[in-house]
A and B are shown apart, each in its own frame.
Chain A
Amino acid sequence: MSGTDTDDAGAEGSSTTGEGSSYAAQLSGISKRFGDVVANDDVNLDLERGSVHALLGENGSGKTTLMNVLYGLYEQDEGTVRVDGQVRDFDSPRDAIDAGVGMIHQHFQLVEPMTVLQNVILGTEPTRGGLVDEDAARADVEEICERYGFDVDEELDTPVRELDLGAQQHVEIVKSLYRGAEILVLDEPTAVLTPQEVDGLFEVMAELTASGRSLIFITHKLGEAMEAADEITVLRDGHAVGTVSANAASREELAELMVGREVLFDADDRTTEPGDPVLTIEDLQVIGDRGRPTVRGVDCQIREGEILGVAGVEGNGQSELAESIVGLRSVADGTVTYEGTDITDASRRSLIQDGIAYIPEDRQSEGLVLDYDLERNALLGNQTVEPFVRRGVVDWDAVGDHAESIVEEYDVEPHDTGAMAESLSGGNQQKFVVGREFEHDPRAIVAAHPTRGVDIGSIEFIHDRLREMRDEGLAVLLVSSKLEEIQQLSDRIAVMYEGEFVDVVDPGAVTEQDLGLLMTGNELDDGSEPDSGTTHGNGGDDQ
């Protein structure tokens, strides 16, 4: 999708000032500060016309800030923005849109009860005699869909909320194109998609560049940047640390650029064989927050020295499954047995004492009290554990030592137990939570999205710890929406769809595509089910 496309795009090139002709946009020496925080420091980025330029970096590296400068949401402190070779100073996104810059945000900006067509033309409705000329709009939108191969033109009168996330994203893109975007910024567009939908998105991106549009693709996933982009600029701590051609880049090289040091991939060498079952779940049924059954008859066993990964598109009952096991959500039916004891109705506190650790899905609302310092947070979940509390009285010295050792062993920055939890970065918050949970001396761990929003360095660290725990004979239930993580860590993978385990598979025997199919409720045709786990009928009943 690279090389040749740029040629025919060049033909469309409009205003030229010598140097800028082949670039759709150029950001030069952009610096942006928020108070004392430098979000972007002297960043350069040249977007070749008709190409995909990936902006790769960890969370908080300044990717979105940079793009918000281009999109007119922020004003840069230093540097210049050129679009089509002309220096531009956008005061608002409206200016940017008028200049042909569109941005697809991570969280879609769609009005859910309105139809696809209404959403697309919102704010730029063609009118005739003061009324919206729906026929003209429909024709225009259909033409755009036709040209780029979107199939949302069949759903123009469907309310957006009835579309899945992949289709909603297409609506966003069509909306930008309808407004005349020549440059499209996609902010982490793959975060909400299944692997199939990601492939579909990449095809759309290829179509767009083929027609001369230029794309900036923000991502923190190496593989995606290499697959979809022509050029990759890596941001780290607000600096552009390198721009490489996607063809010439290697995974290791990019990872090193992102993190600033060498990163080892996939250091898995399991040594132990799974032992006896620690957690046994039988016909578990759980009612969700909205009163509907969200876990609908799950059976599984998690054995000593084993990681059972639960894959699935979010919202298919994984969170409720995890919460019901650790005692935070009541079970409607079925049983959970832990080391031979029925714990179906046990309280959270008793399960903590019995050694079930839980890395919660949301560290900021559950795992930490944000306006406590780390010392006080070290007591969270340990309130009934000696020596921290004796006969109801807290021994803050013991808690302080404990906090100190977590910070030390889990490399939490800053090394200061007096620091407020909210002042830590996401990765360090998570390391603290993981450390605290693992120091409970647990026998089973339920980890929900243990590396969500965490930087690569910390991900590696947390993965290593999970493996260590597994090798020490713990039973681990890992819930994650990152397939890569599930595949790297799990000994078995259960795929959850609409509250059921549709299949339990061996990570070595399936591809990401297979998992994607299972996650969306399909079955694998070739009948390869290496691990005879529980396969529930995929009844196809949709509430």
Chain B
Amino acid sequence: MSSTDTTPAASDDASGDGTDAGGDDSLGRRALARLVDASIFERLGIAVASTLLALLIGLVVVAAAGYDPVLFIDNMVYGIFGTYSVADLFGTNNRLAQTLRPTVTFIITGVAVAIAFRAGVFNIGVQGQFVVGGFAAAATIVSIAGSLPGGAAGGAMVIVVATIAAIAAGGLYAMLPGILKAYAGANEIITTIMLNFVASGVVFWLLDAYFRPGGTFFVRTERFPEHVSFPQPIFEGTSFSVVGLAIALLTAGLVFWIMERTRFGYDLVTSGHQADAASYSGVDAKRTIVATMTFSGMVAGLAGAVYVIMVLSYFSDPATLPTFGFDAIAVSLLAANNPLGVIPAGLLFGGLESGGNFVNQSSDVPRQLIDGVVGLVVLFVAAPELFRMAGKRMDVGGDEQ
């Protein structure tokens, strides 16, 4: 690591913490205390430095494997931003749309995970709730779009109804493991993982039996009518819409507000911090578990609706969908389960996804190597945050927040 002194913040924190965090006045402990007390800007700076450091190491590996590191980074940057100049960033920039498209889903599913994790409930079933929500939206659209008027107004109406259906379906589907945990003591990690498979299986069967247009071979719904889609004031012709991004940002903001400013949020977060204290204060632990799971599932269902409406415009075999619900766990953890923190974390994941895809398409670097470099970035960005959480738990550093 000695060659990487160019990014002092990251290397100091990463190496210093690892070596000697236990000592009394050791360098490690002081670094940890410094990290715990870091302001939001410092943390962003650390994240940027970590990203650069990880890319640097990744490029060394790329070069060692016999590929051109300069081309790799060039493709990566172009893949993420679609341009090299800030002035051209917006406009008809399809690559940026490719970055923002997965970002939207990462943010919403990340928020879904964050809700549950903050309450100390481990909803690993966001993927299943995402599938169920997406299917509910798609099923609603293909069922009612025909009987409602066309045009923008009709499309909006269909979208609203479909989104509500998705939220309800995701919520109900998550409520089930919530009830099982609260009233039967079933471990939610196990039940939610199992319900992911149930979701895929049941949705596949429903698609196959009831939603496959006659005479087609593929298990998928018919395509949604043209007018049932988000408006695209910019990024025309891509499967990304700023409306989707706006929904994601609003969701993160709204959930943040609920957690910070409402009784429900206080009860939920307090249950996550100290269950006994929550009960003492009059919180009904069982009902809170069910409510938390339901709330988390509703947001996951919303993610499903936005995904099918904005990206797919149809619904197909759930096994072929990307695993947003699982990646969302990493997104949420990276954001320390803070709904607002999910936004930059989602952007990072979206950028890496899009950049990695572009490298894959435009060079002969193997997919595995690309994923390795991407994983390195995630690891490096997450490490300082994990140390920060550990430091808080170890009680180093001064005041916070």
Contacts and interface: CB of A to CB of B under 8 A. Distances in A.
Interface in A88-134: none
Contacts of A351: 282
Interface string B271-290: 00110110111111000000
Contacts of A347: 282, 284
Interface string B206-227: 0000000000000000000000
Contacts of A369: 270, 273-274, 277
A463 interface: no
Which bracket fits the contact residues of A? 35 or more
Contacts of B270: 369, 372, 380
Contacts of B264: 392
A418 B277 CA distance: 19
A367 B281 CA distance: 8
B280 A380 contact: yes
Contacts of A367: 277, 280
B280 A358 contact: yes
A394 B263 contact: yes
A394 B257 CA distance: 10
Nearest to A382: B281
Contacts of B392: 371
B261 A396 contact: yes
Contact of A348 (B24, B262, B267, B282): B282
Given A418-B399, A420-B399, A381 B280 contact: yes
Contact of A360 (B261, B280, B284): B280
A383 B263 contact: yes
A392 B282 CA distance: 14
Contact of A383 (B267, B273, B400, B401): B267
B280 A349 contact: no
B326 interface: no
A331 interface: no
Given A379-B266, A394-B266, A365 B281 contact: no
**Most chain A CB within a 10 A radius of its CB, from B24, B263, B277, B279:** B277
Contacts, number: 76
A420 B24 CA distance: 22
A384 B274 CA distance: 19
Contact of B266 (A348, A362, A368, A383): A383
Contact of B280 (A35, A328, A373, A418): A328
A384 B385 CA distance: 35
A389 B266 CA distance: 11
Contacts of B283: 349, 383
B364 interface: no
A406 interface: no
A370 interface: yes
A370 B278 CA distance: 12
Contact of B277 (A365, A373, A382): A365
A366 interface: yes
Interface in A71-91: none
A436 to B, nearest CB: 10
A321 to B, nearest CB: 16
A367 B399 CA distance: 21
Nearest to B275: A365
A385 to B, nearest CB: 10
Given A369-B270, A372-B273, A418-B399, A393 B262 contact: yes
A422 interface: yes
Given A380-B281, A383-B282, A35 B266 contact: no
Given A383-B266, A392-B264, A394-B266, A366 B277 contact: yes
Nearest to A419: B399
A352 interface: yes
A358 B401 CA distance: 30
Interface in B150-199: none
A375 to B, nearest CB: 11
Given A366-B276, A372-B273, A384-B263, A422 B395 contact: yes
Contacts of A384: 263, 282
Nearest to A36: B25
Contact of B261 (A349, A362, A393): A393
A349 B392 CA distance: 31
17 contacts: A34-B24, A35-B25, A328-B279, A347-B284, A348-B282, A349-B283, A349-B284, A351-B282, A366-B276, A368-B277, A369-B274, A372-B270, A376-B266, A381-B280, A389-B263, A393-B263, A396-B261
Interface of A: 34-35, 328, 347-349, 351-352, 358, 360, 362, 365-373, 376, 379-384, 389, 392-394, 396, 418-420, 422
Interface of B: 24-25, 261-264, 266-267, 270, 273-274, 276-277, 279-284, 392, 395, 399-401
Given A34-B24, A371-B273, A392-B263, 9 more contacts: A351-B282, A360-B280, A368-B277, A380-B270, A380-B281, A384-B282, A389-B263, A393-B261, A418-B399
